């Protein structure tokens, strides 16, 4: 990776297992390996796209980075400091640095607060004194995301989904963060609105120098906004490469399958669909070996035995598969 | 267009909600009547004398006229007619209803207010902190703190001295906790005090279960037997023994609210716990609590009635709606007005408060407001 760029967030070997309890005594009968050893870097002013099917641990990873969940293992290094063992009170000053935008624009705003009040919550924790000062800042933030200042007195239900997503972005920006985790921010929106939100995010990145962790399951969207892409499957990262490289030269069978499922806007385009059979298996006590073994078209015996490590296809292209180097 | 201020907006919305407005009007009317009753039924020569016994006039139906020949002039009711009839001792039911209105209304509202406040507090803590564990010494701290306050309240009179004493005790004890206990190193077996014992949710909800196991009426009886019988003690005791339902409601609401994205967003912004609970969660959890509170008012009025019936309530001859009702039960076929008058009064108060409560719920919910 280009070492001249400053790394905002580095995640190393991040793990989170959730216990599954059953019965009268609530005995632990197994562990859901939601995030199982994830590593990635986010550079200053850049976007890392995190792609994967639902239930693969993308959202859990985002909650772990924000320390809304306690990680079991691994390091979360934010601007040179490992915050993975920080207590909630130690996290307090860092909360302003990292913010989150949610998938569901209907659930992410308090229905009993006006948008102005919701955004003010951030300004309060930032320590902005004075009602007039806060009001002015709220209007500024709303303007920044393309909502008129009058919107500050309105309630969330008076806005459309796209507008609410903009308000969610304004709330995240209220504490002047440097890293924003976008947890599927466009998945719940219409395609035309998706483009607007994506462009807004790109625009804000250019103006404010934000770094994004962009979580999505739509490869088109991720490819458009990301500088680097990590493909995740059942708690593991399967392929990790710069966006152009990943789209031009996908190596992991899972990435190939995902890319072949992306619709292409050309009516004459004929392609070979590499449809995957079956569903994502349960992350409850997965078998040893490669996580993808159950659905992989190229599966061999050795995939079912030892853990598969990363192989470097090139300097900054890592793949968790034997097949990369033709071996 | 100018935005209305909060109170203007509230009033505007209330005016549009006819049922809620009616409920509020009726409720205010009753409150006014209760105030009149408070003034006009007390003193040496009250306008309406609820204690005047006229045995020759007993069990007269409503609107019947007194027999002027058998009554002394001061025994004749001031209105010249028994509006709600007379009871088995020939007392004017109307005067007794007036006298009881204040006690019944305040018992209903104060008791429910206390129980809802406790319910929100306990349910909120249980639902919000949920799986956070408390240590053995935390529990001991709470037990000692509270037993100190309760002992002061029981033994020290007047009441304000006990409250001041309680506050001083709480302050000193909390100070010792923070500055002394938290800093001292424990050795060996004493470390068991610092062990995480039980989750907050389990602690509170099992306590609720324990409280629900007591037949609450007998619990109230026990406490009332220990305390001097007065209207205020009864309100407090009824409130302190009926908060479990509200706690469960609030906890259930909180459990679903805490998983919502806007709460996560508030946590990510670094908003502190109490602000999240009070600004983000409680306003969204109030609807079922308000509804159960309106029903709780009727229950509280009737609980007070039962206590009065057994002689533990407001001491006779002071009338309350409940005591008129339970006294009248014996004559339900001969003199139905004895049960109907207080019964209807309770019904109307509860109904009007219910309507107002529902209207309030709608007004406070921004989604049901119309755009303008």
Question: What secondary structure letter does DSSP report for B17?
Answer: -
Residue A64: domain span: 7-97+177-264+271-325
Closest CA in chain B for residue A155: B366
Q: Which pLDDT value is given to residue B320?
A: 85
Q: Dihedrals φ, ψ of A31, to 5°?
A: -125, 135
Query: How far away is chain A from the Cα of B260, in angstroms, using its nearest Cα?
Result: 6
User: How does pLDDT run along chain A (327 residues), one tens digit per residue?
Assistant: 444 468 899 999 899 998 888 877 778 888 888 888 889 999 999 999 999 888 788 889 999 999 988 899 899 999 888 988 888 888 888 888 999 999 888 889 998 888 999 999 999 888 888 889 999 999 999 999 999 988 888 888 889 889 999 999 999 999 999 999 999 888 888 888 899 999 999 999 999 999 999 998 888 888 889 999 999 988 889 899 999 888 888 888 888 888 887 777 777 776 666 677 777 777 777 777 888 888 888 788 878 877 778 888 788 888 888 877 665
Q: Which residues contact A211 (CB under 8 A, 6 or more apart)?
A: A8, A9, A42, A43, A44, A45, A46, A47, A178, A179, A180, A205
Contact (CB<8Å) B367/A155: yes
> Would you call A213 helix, strand, or coil by DSSP?
strand
Helix axes A161-173, B261-269, angle to 10 degrees: 20
A interface test, pick of B262, B275, B284 with most A CB neighbours within 10 Å: B262
Q: Does domain B6-368 have CATH number 1.10.3720.10?
A: yes
Given a cut of 80, whether residue B314 has pLDDT beyond it is no
Which residue in B85, B84, B67 sits closest to B75, CA to CA?
B67
Phi-psi region of B270 (alpha: psi -120 to 50; beta: other; left: phi over 0): left
Given a cut of 80, whether residue B208 has pLDDT beyond it is yes
Distance CA B318, CA B313 (A): 10
Give the percent of chain B with pLDDT over 70. 97
Q: Which two tokens stand for residue A247?
A: 């789209």
Q: Which two tokens stand for residue B112?
A: 């429910």
Dihedral of alpha carbons B302, B304, B306, B308, sign: negative
Highest mean pLDDT among B110-114, B179-183, B330-334: B110-114
Q: Which pLDDT value is given to residue A5?
A: 67
Contacts of B361 in chain A (CB under 8 A): none
Q: Which residue has the tokens 């805490």?
A: B258
Which residue in A236, A249, A250 sits closest to A308, CA to CA?
A236
Which of B262, B267, B364 is nearest residue A110 as measured by Cβ atoms?
B262
Q: Measured between CB atoms, does B284 come within 8 Å of chain A?
A: yes
Angle at A299 between CA A295 and CA A300, to 5 degrees: 150
Contact (CB<8Å) B268/A111: no
Q: Which pLDDT value is given to residue B3?
A: 54
Q: What is the DSSP string of B233-262?
A: HHHHHHHHTS-HHHHHHHHHHHHHHTTSHH
Q: Which two tokens stand for residue B85?
A: 């009839």
Contacts of A172 in chain B (CB under 8 A): 265
> Would you call A223 helix, strand, or coil by DSSP?
helix
Q: How many other C-beta atoms can be found within 10 angstroms of the C-beta atom of residue B258?
A: 18
Q: Which two tokens stand for residue A205?
A: 């990145």
Highest mean pLDDT among A82-91, B174-183, B227-236, B248-257: B248-257
Q: Which residues contact B164 (CB under 8 A, 6 or more apart)?
A: none
Q: Are B171 and B103 in contact (CB under 8 A)?
A: no
Query: How far away is chain A from the Cα of B191, in angstroms, using its nearest Cα?
Result: 22
Query: How far away is chain A from the Cα of B170, in angstroms, using its nearest Cα?
Result: 25
Closest CA in chain A for residue B286: A112
Which of A96, A110, A153 is nearest residue B280 as measured by Cβ atoms?
A110
**pTM, whole model, 2 decimals?**
0.80
Distance CA A215, CA A228 (A): 12
Q: Which two tokens stand for residue B305?
A: 């009635």
Contacts of B256 in chain A (CB under 8 A): none
Question: What secondary structure letter does DSSP report for B369?
Answer: S
Q: How far is CA A188 from CA A99, A115, B261, B367, in A?
A: 19, 20, 14, 21
Most distant CA atoms of chain A, gap in Å: 68
Distance CA A281, CA A320 (A): 18
Domain limits, chain B = 6-368
Bridge-partner residues for A99, per DSSP?
Answer: A180
Contact (CB<8Å) A153/B267: no
Contacts of A70 in chain B (CB under 8 A): none
Q: Are A154 and A109 in contact (CB under 8 A)?
A: no
The whole-number average pLDDT for the span B282-305 is: 81
Q: Give the A-side interface with B, CB within 8 Å.
A: 63, 66, 68, 91-92, 95-96, 98-100, 102-104, 107-113, 118, 121-122, 124-125, 153, 155, 157-158, 168, 171-172, 174-175
Given a cut of 70, whether residue B324 has pLDDT beyond it is yes
* The pairing of beta strand A317-319 with beta strand A311-314: antiparallel
Q: Are B85 and B60 in contact (CB under 8 A)?
A: yes
Q: Which pLDDT value is given to residue B6?
A: 66
Q: Are A50 and A215 in contact (CB under 8 A)?
A: yes
Bridge-partner residues for A40, per DSSP?
Answer: A11
Counted domains in chain A = 1
Contact (CB<8Å) B371/A158: yes
Contact (CB<8Å) A95/B269: yes
Q: Which pLDDT value is given to residue B368?
A: 67
Q: Which pLDDT value is given to residue A217?
A: 84
Indicate which CATH number applies to the domain containing A320.
3.40.50.300
Q: Which two tokens stand for residue A70?
A: 């306690």
Which of B3, B265, B279 is nearest residue A171 as measured by Cβ atoms?
B265
Q: How many other C-beta atoms can be found within 10 angstroms of the C-beta atom of residue B176?
A: 12
Given a cut of 60, whether residue B360 has pLDDT beyond it is yes
Contacts of B283 in chain A (CB under 8 A): 112
Contact (CB<8Å) B269/A112: no
Give strand ranges (E) for B133-290. Answer: 133-135, 196-199
Which of B260, B267, B366 is nearest residue A155 as measured by Cβ atoms?
B366
Highest mean pLDDT among A25-39, A64-78, B154-168, B184-198: A64-78
Q: Which pLDDT value is given to residue A203?
A: 93
Given a cut of 70, whether residue B1 has pLDDT beyond it is no
Contact (CB<8Å) A112/B364: yes
Q: Are A33 and A283 in contact (CB under 8 A)?
A: yes
Which residue in A40, A165, A149 sits closest to A109, CA to CA?
A165
B interface test, pick of A87, A98, A114, A121 with most B CB neighbours within 10 Å: A121
Q: Which pLDDT value is given to residue A55?
A: 79
Question: What secondary structure letter does DSSP report for B81?
Answer: S
Q: Is residue A141 part of a domain?
A: no
Distance CA B82, CA B100 (A): 17
- Chain A, chain B: beta-carbon pairs less than 8 Å apart: 69
Dihedral of alpha carbons B336, B342, B344, B346, sign: negative
Q: Are A204 and A120 in contact (CB under 8 A)?
A: no
B interface test, pick of A68, A112, A113, A161 with most B CB neighbours within 10 Å: A112
Distance CA B14, CA A270 (A): 63
Bridge-partner residues for A183, per DSSP?
Answer: A215
- Report pLDDT digits (tens) over B42-79: 777 777 778 778 877 777 778 878 777 777 777 777 77
Contact (CB<8Å) B280/A66: no
Kind and range of the H or E run holding A35 = strand A27-43
Distance CA A121, CA A129 (A): 12
Judged by average pLDDT, the poorest of A160-164, A209-213, B8-12, B335-339 is: B8-12
- Report pLDDT digits (tens) over B29-40: 999 999 988 888
Contact (CB<8Å) B270/A104: no
Strand order in the sheet with A236-242: A98-101, A179-183, A211-216, A47-51, A228-233, A236-242, A317-319, A311-314
Angle at A134 between CA A131 and CA A68, to 5 degrees: 120
Give strand ranges (E) for A197-310. Answer: 211-216, 228-233, 236-242
Query: How confident is residue B371, by pLDDT bands cut at 50, 70 and 90?
Result: very low
Angle at B85 between CA B83 and CA B90, to 5 degrees: 125
Question: What secondary structure letter does DSSP report for B281?
Answer: I
Measure the N-to-C terminal CA separation of chain A; round to a whole number of Å. Answer: 25
Q: Measured between CB atoms, does B251 come within 8 Å of chain A?
A: no
Q: Which residues contact A184 (CB under 8 A, 6 or more apart)?
A: A58, A59, A102, A103, A215, A216, A217
């Amino acid at each position: 990776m280009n070492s001249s760029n400053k790394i905002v967030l580095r995640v190393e070997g991040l793990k989170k297992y959730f216990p599954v309890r059953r019965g009268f005594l609530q005995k632990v009968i197994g562990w859901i390996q939601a995030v199982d050893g994830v590593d990635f870097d986010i550079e200053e002013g850049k976007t890392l796209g995190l792609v994967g099917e639902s239930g693969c641990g993308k959202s859990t990873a985002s909650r772990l980075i924000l320390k809304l969940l306690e990680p079991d293992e691994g390091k979360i290094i934010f601007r040179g400091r490992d915050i993975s063992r920080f207590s909630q009170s130690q996290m307090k000053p860092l909360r302003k640095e990292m913010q989150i935008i949610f998938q569901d624009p209907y659930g992410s705003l308090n229905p009993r607060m006006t948008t102005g009040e919701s955004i003010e919550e951030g300004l309060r924790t930032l320590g902005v004194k004075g009602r007039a000062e806060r009001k002015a800042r709220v209007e500024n933030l709303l303007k920044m995301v393309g909502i008129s200042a009058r919107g500050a007195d309105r309630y969330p239900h008076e806005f459309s989904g796209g507008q609410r997503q903009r308000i969610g972005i304004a709330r995240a920006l209220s504490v002047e963060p440097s890293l924003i985790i976008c947890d599927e921010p466009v998945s719940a929106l219409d395609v035309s609105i998706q483009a607007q939100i994506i462009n807004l995010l790109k625009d804000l990145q250019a103006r404010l120098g934000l770094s994004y962790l962009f979580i999505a399951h739509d490869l088109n969207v991720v490819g458009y906004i990301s500088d680097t892409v990590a493909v995740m499957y059942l708690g593991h990262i399967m392929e990790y490469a710069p966006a152009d490289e990943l789209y031009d030269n996908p190596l992991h069978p899972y990435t190939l399958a995902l890319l072949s499922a992306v619709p292409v806007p050309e009516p004459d385009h004929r392609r070979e669909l590499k449809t995957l059979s079956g569903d994502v298996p349960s992350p409850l006590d997965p078998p040893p070996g490669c996580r993808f073994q159950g659905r992989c078209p190229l599966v061999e015996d050795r995939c079912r035995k030892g853990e598969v490590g990363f192989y470097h296809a090139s300097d900054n292209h890592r793949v968790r598969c034997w097949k990369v180097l033709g071996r | 267009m100018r935005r209305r201020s909060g109170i203007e907006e509230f009033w505007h919305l209330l005016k549009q909600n006819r049922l809620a407005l009616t409920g509020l009007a009726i409720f205010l009317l009753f409150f006014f009547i209760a105030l009149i009753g408070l003034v006009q039924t007390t003193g040496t020569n009250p306008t309406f004398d609820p204690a005047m016994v006229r045995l020759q006039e007993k069990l007269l139906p409503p609107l019947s006229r007194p027999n002027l020949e058998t009554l002394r002039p001061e025994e004749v009711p001031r209105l010249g007619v028994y509006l709600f009839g007379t009871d088995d001792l020939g007392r004017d039911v109307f005067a007794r209803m007036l006298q009881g209105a204040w006690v019944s209304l305040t018992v209903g509202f104060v008791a429910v207010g206390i129980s809802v406040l406790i319910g929100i507090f306990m349910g909120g803590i249980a639902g919000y902190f949920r799986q956070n564990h408390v240590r053995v010494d935390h529990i001991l701290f709470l037990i000692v703190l509270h037993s100190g306050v309760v002992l002061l309240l029981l033994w020290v009179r007047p009441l304000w001295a006990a409250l001041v004493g309680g506050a001083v005790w709480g302050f000193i004890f909390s100070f010792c906790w923070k500055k002394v206990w938290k800093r001292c190193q424990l050795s060996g077996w004493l470390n068991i005090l610092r062990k995480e014992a039980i989750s907050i949710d389990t602690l509170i909800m099992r306590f609720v279960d324990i409280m629900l196991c007591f037949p609450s009426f007998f619990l109230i009886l026990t406490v009332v037997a220990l305390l001097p019988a007065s209207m205020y003690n009864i309100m407090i005791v009824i409130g302190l023994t009926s908060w479990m339902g509200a706690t469960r409601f609030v906890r259930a609401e909180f459990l679903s609210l805490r998983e919502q994205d806007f709460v996560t967003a508030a946590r990510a912004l670094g908003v502190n716990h109490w602000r999240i609970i009070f600004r983000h969660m409680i306003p969204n959890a109030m609807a079922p609590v308000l509804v159960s509170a309106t029903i709780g008012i009727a229950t509280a009025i009737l609980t007070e009635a039962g206590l009065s019936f057994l002689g533990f309530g407001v001491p006779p001859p002071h009338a309350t709606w409940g005591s008129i009702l339970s006294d009248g039960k014996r004559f339900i076929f001969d003199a139905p007005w004895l049960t109907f008058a207080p019964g209807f009064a309770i019904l109307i108060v509860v109904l009007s408060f219910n309507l107002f409560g529902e209207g309030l719920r709608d007004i406070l919910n921004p989604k049901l407001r119309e755009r303008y």
